[in-house]
Chain A
Amino acid sequence: MDDRDLQYEKYKSILENYLEEQSEQTLYKGQQFSRKMIEQQISPEEAVSLHVSVLEELFPDLPEPLKNSYDFLLEMMIGYGFAYREHQSLRNRQQQLESEIEVAANMQQTLLAGKKPEVDNLDIGAISKPAQKMNGDYYHFVQDENDCVSVAIADIIGKGIPAALCMSMIKYAMDSAPEQRMQPGAVLENLNRVVEQNVDPNMFITMFYGLYDSRVHSFYYAGAGHEPGFFYDSEKDQFEELFTKGLVLGVSKKTSYREYQRVLNGNDMVIMLSDGVTECRSSQGFIERDEIVAMIRKYIHLSAQEIVDSVYKELERLQEFELRDDFTLLILRRKV
Protein backbone atom coordinates (compact mmCIF):
# COMPACT_ATOMS: atom_id res chain seq x y z
CA MET A 1 0.00 0.00 0.00
CA ASP A 2 1.31 3.46 -0.77
CA ASP A 3 0.77 6.58 1.34
CA ARG A 4 -2.37 7.51 -0.45
CA ASP A 5 -4.01 4.13 0.18
CA LEU A 6 -2.97 4.22 3.82
CA GLN A 7 -4.47 7.64 4.16
CA TYR A 8 -7.66 6.44 2.53
CA GLU A 9 -7.97 3.46 4.87
CA LYS A 10 -7.24 5.53 7.94
CA TYR A 11 -9.79 8.19 7.02
CA LYS A 12 -12.34 5.52 6.22
CA SER A 13 -11.97 3.88 9.61
CA ILE A 14 -12.24 7.18 11.50
CA LEU A 15 -15.30 8.23 9.52
CA GLU A 16 -16.96 4.82 9.97
CA ASN A 17 -16.37 5.03 13.70
CA TYR A 18 -17.91 8.44 13.84
CA LEU A 19 -20.95 7.47 11.81
CA GLU A 20 -21.57 4.57 14.18
CA GLU A 21 -21.19 6.55 17.32
CA GLN A 22 -20.74 10.32 17.41
CA SER A 23 -18.14 10.40 20.18
CA GLU A 24 -15.83 13.22 21.22
CA GLN A 25 -12.95 10.81 21.04
CA THR A 26 -13.45 10.09 17.37
CA LEU A 27 -13.81 13.79 16.63
CA TYR A 28 -10.49 14.31 18.33
CA LYS A 29 -8.94 11.59 16.14
CA GLY A 30 -10.31 13.43 13.13
CA GLN A 31 -8.61 16.61 14.30
CA GLN A 32 -5.30 14.85 14.67
CA PHE A 33 -5.70 13.32 11.23
CA SER A 34 -6.36 16.72 9.67
CA ARG A 35 -3.22 18.09 11.29
CA LYS A 36 -1.24 15.32 9.65
CA MET A 37 -2.84 16.10 6.30
CA ILE A 38 -1.82 19.74 6.65
CA GLU A 39 1.73 18.67 7.44
CA GLN A 40 1.74 16.62 4.26
CA GLN A 41 0.47 19.66 2.38
CA ILE A 42 -2.81 18.04 1.33
CA SER A 43 -4.96 20.81 -0.17
CA PRO A 44 -8.57 21.44 0.93
CA GLU A 45 -10.00 20.16 -2.36
CA GLU A 46 -8.00 16.94 -1.99
CA ALA A 47 -9.43 16.51 1.51
CA VAL A 48 -12.99 16.87 0.21
CA SER A 49 -12.21 14.51 -2.63
CA LEU A 50 -10.97 11.92 -0.13
CA HIS A 51 -14.19 12.29 1.86
CA VAL A 52 -16.30 11.80 -1.25
CA SER A 53 -14.48 8.62 -2.34
CA VAL A 54 -14.82 7.08 1.10
CA LEU A 55 -18.48 8.04 1.22
CA GLU A 56 -19.11 6.46 -2.18
CA GLU A 57 -17.56 3.21 -1.02
CA LEU A 58 -19.53 3.13 2.21
CA PHE A 59 -22.81 4.14 0.57
CA PRO A 60 -22.82 2.98 -3.06
CA ASP A 61 -26.42 4.16 -3.42
CA LEU A 62 -25.79 7.77 -2.57
CA PRO A 63 -28.63 9.88 -4.00
CA GLU A 64 -27.71 11.64 -7.24
CA PRO A 65 -28.35 15.23 -5.96
CA LEU A 66 -26.03 14.58 -3.01
CA LYS A 67 -23.28 13.31 -5.34
CA ASN A 68 -23.69 16.37 -7.53
CA SER A 69 -23.57 18.63 -4.52
CA TYR A 70 -20.13 17.20 -3.68
CA ASP A 71 -18.89 18.10 -7.17
CA PHE A 72 -20.11 21.58 -6.42
CA LEU A 73 -18.34 21.66 -3.05
CA LEU A 74 -15.11 20.46 -4.71
CA GLU A 75 -15.26 23.38 -7.09
CA MET A 76 -15.78 25.74 -4.14
CA MET A 77 -12.82 24.28 -2.29
CA ILE A 78 -10.44 24.98 -5.15
CA GLY A 79 -10.48 28.67 -4.14
CA TYR A 80 -9.52 27.71 -0.60
CA GLY A 81 -6.76 25.55 -2.06
CA PHE A 82 -5.29 28.58 -3.80
CA ALA A 83 -5.45 30.61 -0.61
CA TYR A 84 -3.76 27.77 1.25
CA ARG A 85 -0.91 27.52 -1.24
CA GLU A 86 -0.48 31.27 -1.14
CA HIS A 87 -0.24 31.08 2.62
CA GLN A 88 2.46 28.44 2.26
CA SER A 89 4.51 30.55 -0.09
CA LEU A 90 4.10 33.63 2.14
CA ARG A 91 5.42 31.60 5.03
CA ASN A 92 8.49 30.69 3.06
CA ARG A 93 8.95 34.29 2.04
CA GLN A 94 8.60 35.36 5.67
CA GLN A 95 11.31 32.97 6.75
CA GLN A 96 13.55 34.39 4.05
CA LEU A 97 12.88 37.96 5.24
CA GLU A 98 13.54 37.01 8.81
CA SER A 99 16.93 35.66 7.94
CA GLU A 100 17.68 38.84 5.98
CA ILE A 101 16.75 40.93 9.02
CA GLU A 102 19.01 38.75 11.08
CA VAL A 103 21.88 39.62 8.75
CA ALA A 104 21.01 43.35 8.95
CA ALA A 105 20.86 43.17 12.76
CA ASN A 106 24.31 41.62 12.82
CA MET A 107 25.61 44.36 10.54
CA GLN A 108 24.13 46.94 12.87
CA GLN A 109 25.89 45.32 15.79
CA THR A 110 29.20 45.58 13.95
CA LEU A 111 28.50 49.20 13.06
CA LEU A 112 27.65 50.09 16.63
CA ALA A 113 30.24 48.06 18.40
CA GLY A 114 32.28 51.04 19.51
CA LYS A 115 34.90 50.37 22.12
CA LYS A 116 34.23 51.74 25.54
CA PRO A 117 37.06 54.21 26.23
CA GLU A 118 39.69 53.39 28.84
CA VAL A 119 40.58 56.54 30.71
CA ASP A 120 42.53 56.58 33.97
CA ASN A 121 40.24 58.80 35.97
CA LEU A 122 36.90 57.78 34.47
CA ASP A 123 34.67 54.80 35.21
CA ILE A 124 32.30 54.13 32.30
CA GLY A 125 29.23 51.91 32.07
CA ALA A 126 27.11 51.35 28.95
CA ILE A 127 24.22 49.10 28.01
CA SER A 128 21.88 49.18 25.02
CA LYS A 129 19.22 46.57 24.28
CA PRO A 130 16.78 46.59 21.36
CA ALA A 131 13.10 45.74 21.93
CA GLN A 132 13.05 43.96 18.58
CA LYS A 133 15.91 42.73 16.46
CA MET A 134 17.08 46.14 15.30
CA ASN A 135 17.98 48.88 17.75
CA GLY A 136 16.52 52.40 17.35
CA ASP A 137 18.76 53.71 20.11
CA TYR A 138 22.28 54.77 19.35
CA TYR A 139 25.26 55.55 21.49
CA HIS A 140 28.84 56.17 20.66
CA PHE A 141 32.03 57.03 22.54
CA VAL A 142 35.11 58.62 21.07
CA GLN A 143 38.36 59.04 22.96
CA ASP A 144 41.11 61.35 21.77
CA GLU A 145 44.85 61.57 22.48
CA ASN A 146 44.26 64.09 25.30
CA ASP A 147 41.95 61.69 27.14
CA CYS A 148 38.92 63.71 26.23
CA VAL A 149 35.90 61.45 25.86
CA SER A 150 32.91 62.44 23.77
CA VAL A 151 29.65 60.61 24.12
CA ALA A 152 26.51 60.67 22.02
CA ILE A 153 23.19 59.05 22.84
CA ALA A 154 20.30 59.21 20.40
CA ASP A 155 16.82 57.84 20.03
CA ILE A 156 15.34 57.54 16.59
CA ILE A 157 11.58 57.79 16.43
CA GLY A 158 9.93 54.47 15.81
CA LYS A 159 11.59 51.12 15.98
CA GLY A 160 12.89 48.46 13.68
CA ILE A 161 14.48 48.81 10.29
CA PRO A 162 13.68 52.45 9.36
CA ALA A 163 15.16 53.58 12.66
CA ALA A 164 18.25 51.45 12.12
CA LEU A 165 18.81 52.84 8.63
CA CYS A 166 18.49 56.35 9.98
CA MET A 167 21.05 55.54 12.60
CA SER A 168 23.75 54.66 10.10
CA MET A 169 23.19 58.11 8.58
CA ILE A 170 23.87 59.71 11.97
CA LYS A 171 26.96 57.68 12.54
CA TYR A 172 28.29 58.63 9.12
CA ALA A 173 27.52 62.32 9.64
CA MET A 174 29.28 62.32 13.01
CA ASP A 175 32.32 60.46 11.75
CA SER A 176 32.71 62.92 8.89
CA ALA A 177 32.95 66.02 11.06
CA PRO A 178 35.60 65.09 13.64
CA GLU A 179 36.91 68.65 14.04
CA GLN A 180 33.62 69.66 15.71
CA ARG A 181 33.81 67.00 18.36
CA MET A 182 34.85 69.48 21.04
CA GLN A 183 31.78 71.71 20.57
CA PRO A 184 28.56 69.92 21.55
CA GLY A 185 26.30 72.72 20.31
CA ALA A 186 27.95 72.75 16.89
CA VAL A 187 27.79 68.95 16.61
CA LEU A 188 24.01 69.05 17.07
CA GLU A 189 23.55 71.97 14.67
CA ASN A 190 25.45 70.11 12.01
CA LEU A 191 23.52 66.88 12.57
CA ASN A 192 20.23 68.75 12.55
CA ARG A 193 20.97 70.03 9.05
CA VAL A 194 21.78 66.52 7.81
CA VAL A 195 18.75 64.96 9.43
CA GLU A 196 16.33 67.69 8.34
CA GLN A 197 17.26 67.15 4.70
CA ASN A 198 17.15 63.40 4.80
CA VAL A 199 14.22 62.14 6.81
CA ASP A 200 10.54 61.61 6.26
CA PRO A 201 8.44 64.55 7.61
CA ASN A 202 7.03 62.43 10.43
CA MET A 203 10.41 61.36 11.64
CA PHE A 204 12.80 62.99 14.08
CA ILE A 205 15.72 62.10 16.27
CA THR A 206 16.47 63.09 19.84
CA MET A 207 20.09 63.34 20.87
CA PHE A 208 22.25 64.23 23.81
CA TYR A 209 25.90 64.98 23.14
CA GLY A 210 28.60 65.56 25.71
CA LEU A 211 32.32 65.90 26.00
CA TYR A 212 34.33 65.09 29.10
CA ASP A 213 37.66 66.84 29.33
CA SER A 214 39.61 64.88 31.91
CA ARG A 215 42.33 67.55 32.12
CA VAL A 216 39.87 69.96 33.76
CA HIS A 217 37.29 67.40 34.89
CA SER A 218 34.57 69.23 33.05
CA PHE A 219 31.63 67.88 31.14
CA TYR A 220 30.34 70.06 28.27
CA TYR A 221 26.99 69.08 26.82
CA ALA A 222 24.01 69.99 24.70
CA GLY A 223 20.70 68.29 23.99
CA ALA A 224 18.31 68.06 21.09
CA GLY A 225 14.99 67.20 22.70
CA HIS A 226 16.43 64.16 24.41
CA GLU A 227 15.08 62.63 27.62
CA PRO A 228 17.04 64.46 30.35
CA GLY A 229 19.71 62.49 32.13
CA PHE A 230 20.91 62.94 35.70
CA PHE A 231 23.88 64.46 37.45
CA TYR A 232 24.94 62.83 40.69
CA ASP A 233 26.63 65.17 43.14
CA SER A 234 28.49 62.84 45.48
CA GLU A 235 29.31 65.49 48.08
CA LYS A 236 25.63 66.37 48.54
CA ASP A 237 24.63 62.79 47.75
CA GLN A 238 21.97 64.14 45.41
CA PHE A 239 20.69 63.41 41.94
CA GLU A 240 19.73 66.39 39.79
CA GLU A 241 18.15 66.48 36.38
CA LEU A 242 20.67 67.13 33.62
CA PHE A 243 18.47 69.63 31.89
CA THR A 244 19.05 70.81 28.34
CA LYS A 245 16.77 72.85 26.12
CA GLY A 246 16.86 72.22 22.39
CA LEU A 247 14.57 71.13 19.59
CA VAL A 248 14.71 67.54 18.32
CA LEU A 249 16.78 66.95 15.18
CA GLY A 250 15.02 67.07 11.84
CA VAL A 251 12.18 69.52 12.48
CA SER A 252 13.51 72.97 11.68
CA LYS A 253 16.42 73.82 9.39
CA LYS A 254 17.87 76.63 11.48
CA THR A 255 18.12 75.51 15.05
CA SER A 256 20.84 76.37 17.51
CA TYR A 257 21.72 74.41 20.61
CA ARG A 258 22.81 75.84 23.91
CA GLU A 259 25.91 74.41 25.50
CA TYR A 260 26.05 73.64 29.22
CA GLN A 261 28.92 72.76 31.52
CA ARG A 262 29.35 70.82 34.76
CA VAL A 263 32.50 70.24 36.78
CA LEU A 264 32.83 66.71 38.16
CA ASN A 265 34.36 66.12 41.56
CA GLY A 266 35.46 62.68 42.66
CA ASN A 267 32.61 60.10 42.46
CA ASP A 268 30.28 62.51 40.67
CA MET A 269 28.35 60.85 37.86
CA VAL A 270 26.76 61.83 34.59
CA ILE A 271 23.87 59.50 33.73
CA MET A 272 22.41 59.41 30.24
CA LEU A 273 19.43 57.38 29.10
CA SER A 274 16.92 56.85 26.33
CA ASP A 275 13.18 57.28 26.83
CA GLY A 276 12.91 53.49 26.66
CA VAL A 277 14.09 53.65 30.24
CA THR A 278 11.40 56.04 31.46
CA GLU A 279 8.67 54.75 29.15
CA CYS A 280 8.91 51.32 30.72
CA ARG A 281 5.47 50.10 31.65
CA SER A 282 5.11 47.53 34.37
CA SER A 283 1.84 45.94 35.39
CA GLN A 284 1.46 48.78 37.92
CA GLY A 285 1.79 51.54 35.32
CA PHE A 286 4.70 53.67 34.18
CA ILE A 287 8.04 53.50 35.86
CA GLU A 288 8.76 57.00 37.06
CA ARG A 289 12.07 58.78 36.88
CA ASP A 290 12.32 58.73 40.68
CA GLU A 291 12.25 54.97 40.60
CA ILE A 292 15.13 54.88 38.12
CA VAL A 293 17.10 57.13 40.45
CA ALA A 294 16.26 54.85 43.36
CA MET A 295 17.54 51.85 41.41
CA ILE A 296 20.81 53.60 40.54
CA ARG A 297 21.21 54.59 44.16
CA LYS A 298 20.69 51.00 45.23
CA TYR A 299 23.68 49.87 43.15
CA ILE A 300 25.79 52.99 43.59
CA HIS A 301 28.57 51.12 45.43
CA LEU A 302 29.21 49.00 42.31
CA SER A 303 31.23 49.89 39.20
CA ALA A 304 29.52 51.95 36.48
CA GLN A 305 29.13 48.91 34.25
CA GLU A 306 27.66 46.86 37.08
CA ILE A 307 25.19 49.65 37.85
CA VAL A 308 23.80 49.84 34.31
CA ASP A 309 23.64 46.03 34.05
CA SER A 310 21.80 45.74 37.37
CA VAL A 311 19.30 48.49 36.54
CA TYR A 312 18.58 46.84 33.22
CA LYS A 313 17.99 43.48 34.87
CA GLU A 314 15.64 45.00 37.41
CA LEU A 315 13.61 46.86 34.78
CA GLU A 316 13.48 43.78 32.62
CA ARG A 317 12.04 41.83 35.52
CA LEU A 318 9.46 44.55 36.26
CA GLN A 319 8.26 44.36 32.67
CA GLU A 320 8.06 40.58 32.75
CA PHE A 321 11.06 40.30 30.44
CA GLU A 322 9.34 41.93 27.52
CA LEU A 323 10.90 45.22 26.46
CA ARG A 324 8.43 47.57 24.79
CA ASP A 325 11.03 50.04 23.66
CA ASP A 326 14.74 50.06 23.01
CA PHE A 327 16.71 50.59 26.19
CA THR A 328 19.99 52.48 26.62
CA LEU A 329 21.69 53.60 29.83
CA LEU A 330 25.16 55.17 30.08
CA ILE A 331 27.12 56.28 33.13
CA LEU A 332 30.33 58.32 33.40
CA ARG A 333 31.83 58.54 36.87
CA ARG A 334 34.93 60.46 37.84
CA LYS A 335 37.17 58.19 39.84
CA VAL A 336 38.53 59.49 43.12
Chain B
Amino acid sequence: MNLQIKQEDQGNTHNLYIAGEVDAYTAPQLREALLPLTGKESHETLVHLGDVNYMDSTGLGVFVGALKSSKEHGSTLKLRGMTSRVQRLFEITGLDEVIDIEDAKGGSK
Protein backbone atom coordinates (compact mmCIF):
# COMPACT_ATOMS: atom_id res chain seq x y z
CA MET B 1 0.00 0.00 0.00
CA ASN B 2 2.56 2.46 -1.15
CA LEU B 3 2.72 5.11 -3.80
CA GLN B 4 5.67 7.06 -5.13
CA ILE B 5 5.17 10.14 -7.25
CA LYS B 6 7.94 11.94 -9.09
CA GLN B 7 7.41 15.09 -11.08
CA GLU B 8 9.58 16.43 -13.91
CA ASP B 9 8.67 19.59 -15.79
CA GLN B 10 9.77 20.60 -19.30
CA GLY B 11 8.31 23.99 -20.09
CA ASN B 12 4.55 23.63 -20.19
CA THR B 13 4.71 19.85 -20.03
CA HIS B 14 4.49 18.12 -16.67
CA ASN B 15 5.60 14.53 -16.36
CA LEU B 16 4.26 12.58 -13.39
CA TYR B 17 5.90 9.22 -12.76
CA ILE B 18 3.70 7.04 -10.60
CA ALA B 19 4.85 3.81 -8.99
CA GLY B 20 3.10 1.42 -6.62
CA GLU B 21 -0.56 0.98 -5.76
CA VAL B 22 -3.32 3.48 -6.39
CA ASP B 23 -6.17 2.61 -4.05
CA ALA B 24 -8.47 4.26 -1.53
CA TYR B 25 -5.51 4.96 0.76
CA THR B 26 -3.11 6.45 -1.75
CA ALA B 27 -5.60 8.11 -4.12
CA PRO B 28 -5.71 11.40 -2.15
CA GLN B 29 -1.93 11.68 -2.56
CA LEU B 30 -2.23 11.26 -6.34
CA ARG B 31 -5.12 13.71 -6.53
CA GLU B 32 -3.07 16.32 -4.69
CA ALA B 33 -0.22 15.97 -7.17
CA LEU B 34 -2.35 15.77 -10.29
CA LEU B 35 -5.16 18.31 -9.91
CA PRO B 36 -3.02 21.45 -9.64
CA LEU B 37 -1.34 20.49 -12.95
CA THR B 38 -4.56 19.91 -14.90
CA GLY B 39 -5.82 23.26 -13.62
CA LYS B 40 -3.21 25.18 -15.68
CA GLU B 41 -4.52 26.46 -19.00
CA SER B 42 -2.81 25.08 -22.14
CA HIS B 43 -0.38 23.02 -20.09
CA GLU B 44 0.08 19.33 -20.79
CA THR B 45 0.19 16.66 -18.11
CA LEU B 46 1.67 13.26 -18.95
CA VAL B 47 1.08 10.58 -16.37
CA HIS B 48 3.44 7.61 -16.63
CA LEU B 49 1.79 4.51 -15.20
CA GLY B 50 4.26 1.77 -16.17
CA ASP B 51 5.18 1.05 -12.55
CA VAL B 52 1.65 0.99 -11.19
CA ASN B 53 0.94 -2.62 -10.29
CA TYR B 54 -2.51 -2.14 -8.82
CA MET B 55 -5.30 0.35 -9.23
CA ASP B 56 -8.84 0.23 -7.91
CA SER B 57 -11.94 2.26 -8.72
CA THR B 58 -10.96 5.06 -6.34
CA GLY B 59 -7.78 5.43 -8.39
CA LEU B 60 -9.81 5.60 -11.59
CA GLY B 61 -11.90 8.27 -9.89
CA VAL B 62 -8.82 10.47 -9.55
CA PHE B 63 -8.31 10.33 -13.33
CA VAL B 64 -11.99 11.07 -13.92
CA GLY B 65 -11.62 14.15 -11.69
CA ALA B 66 -8.42 15.15 -13.52
CA LEU B 67 -10.11 14.74 -16.91
CA LYS B 68 -12.98 17.00 -15.84
CA SER B 69 -10.54 19.55 -14.49
CA SER B 70 -8.46 19.56 -17.70
CA LYS B 71 -11.57 20.08 -19.83
CA GLU B 72 -12.70 22.88 -17.59
CA HIS B 73 -9.34 24.64 -17.62
CA GLY B 74 -8.30 23.98 -21.21
CA SER B 75 -5.31 21.80 -20.43
CA THR B 76 -4.32 18.38 -21.79
CA LEU B 77 -4.15 15.10 -19.91
CA LYS B 78 -2.42 12.00 -21.26
CA LEU B 79 -1.76 8.62 -19.68
CA ARG B 80 1.18 6.58 -20.83
CA GLY B 81 2.57 3.06 -20.59
CA MET B 82 0.09 1.31 -18.36
CA THR B 83 0.27 -2.43 -17.72
CA SER B 84 -2.36 -4.68 -19.22
CA ARG B 85 -3.99 -5.17 -15.82
CA VAL B 86 -4.50 -1.43 -15.39
CA GLN B 87 -5.41 -0.97 -19.05
CA ARG B 88 -8.19 -3.52 -18.65
CA LEU B 89 -9.77 -1.33 -15.94
CA PHE B 90 -9.81 1.66 -18.27
CA GLU B 91 -11.35 -0.50 -21.02
CA ILE B 92 -14.08 -2.05 -18.89
CA THR B 93 -15.15 1.32 -17.56
CA GLY B 94 -15.14 2.85 -21.06
CA LEU B 95 -12.73 5.51 -19.80
CA ASP B 96 -10.27 4.55 -22.56
CA GLU B 97 -12.64 6.28 -24.99
CA VAL B 98 -12.67 9.60 -23.18
CA ILE B 99 -9.15 9.76 -21.77
CA ASP B 100 -6.09 10.00 -24.02
CA ILE B 101 -4.13 6.80 -23.44
CA GLU B 102 -0.84 6.11 -25.21
CA ASP B 103 0.86 2.81 -26.00
CA ALA B 104 0.42 0.02 -23.49
CA LYS B 105 3.47 -1.87 -22.37
CA GLY B 106 4.24 -5.06 -20.58
CA GLY B 107 1.60 -7.55 -19.52
CA SER B 108 0.90 -10.91 -20.98
CA LYS B 109 -2.18 -10.18 -23.08
Contact = CB atoms under 8 A, between A and B. Distances in A.
A252 B67 CA distance: 10
A217 to B, nearest CB: 28
A227 B31 CA distance: 24
B31 A206 contact: no
Interface in A228-261: 228, 245-248, 250-252
Nearest to A279: B56
Nearest to A155: B57
Contacts of B56: 279, 325
Contacts of A40: none
B83 interface: no
B58 A247 contact: no
A247 B61 contact: no
Contacts of A225: 92-95
Contact of B93 (A158, A159, A202, A248): A248
B94 A158 contact: no
Q: Is the interface of A mostly helix, strand, loop or mixed?
A: loop
A11 interface: no
B66 to A, nearest CB: 9
A254 B60 CA distance: 20
Given A157-B57, A204-B57, A204-B60, 9 more contacts: A158-B57, A200-B65, A201-B65, A201-B68, A202-B31, A225-B92, A246-B94, A251-B67, A252-B98
Contact of B61 (A157, A159, A325): A157
Interface string A81-97: 00000000000000000
Contacts of A325: 56
A244 to B, nearest CB: 9
B25 to A, nearest CB: 12
B6 to A, nearest CB: 22
Contacts of A228: 92
Interface string B18-56: 000000100000010000000000000000000000001
A247 B95 contact: yes
Interface string A23-57: 00000000000000000000000000000000000
A224 B95 CA distance: 10
A203 interface: yes
A141 B69 CA distance: 36
Q: Counting chain A CB atoms within 10 Å of each CB, which of B65, B92, B95 scores highest? A: B92
Contact of B98 (A155, A200, A247): A247
20 contacts: A155-B57, A157-B58, A158-B24, A201-B65, A202-B61, A202-B62, A202-B65, A204-B61, A206-B93, A224-B94, A225-B93, A225-B95, A226-B92, A227-B92, A247-B95, A247-B97, A248-B95, A251-B64, A275-B57, A279-B56
